[in-house]
Structure 1
Amino acid sequence: MSNIQQQREVVEQLRREASIKRISVSQAIEDIKKFILEKECEDYLMIGFSSERANPFREKSWSCQII
């Protein structure tokens, strides 16, 4: 690949990046906070599980069986 071709690809990439819609950090933070508050009631790390059996991450109890 020639140097000119590489530079054209770089310019195209920069044009794509420049066309991306940007928002301010403060707006992004407000959007993230809103999302977190909306999903808070579904977050099992916050509310826990209704029972120990409902927890898919619980430690499995292994018992030794002699045949």
Structure 2
Amino acid sequence: HSSGHNQSHALQRLVEQLKLEASVERIMVSQAAAELQQYCMQNACKDALLVGVPAGSNPFLEPRSCILL
């Protein structure tokens, strides 16, 4: 049966994927959170959402035109 062969192949792929995931190095959530917080603090000065974008270098700013009628 080809469906049995396909199922066997799918299970084999699943096992390979699980082996791969099992081999991934893990760290504690508290450590990950501390590293993430440290990264955010170190890069806060470059974060456009915190410091804004200078008007001159904002590619999304629509050019202002003042039309007097």
TM-score > 0.5, shorter chain as reference? yes
Unaligned runs of 5+ in 2: none
Aligned to 2:55: 52
Matched residues, number? 63
Give the fraction of aligned pairs with identical amino acids, expressed as a percent. Answer: 33
Question: Larger % of helix: which?
Answer: 2
Runs of 4+ in 1 over 3 A off after TM superposition: 54-57
Q: TM-score, normalised by structure 1?
A: 0.72
Give the superposed CA RMSD. Answer: 2.2
Q: TM-score, normalised by structure 2?
A: 0.70
Q: How many angstroms does 1:48 deviate by?
A: 2.6
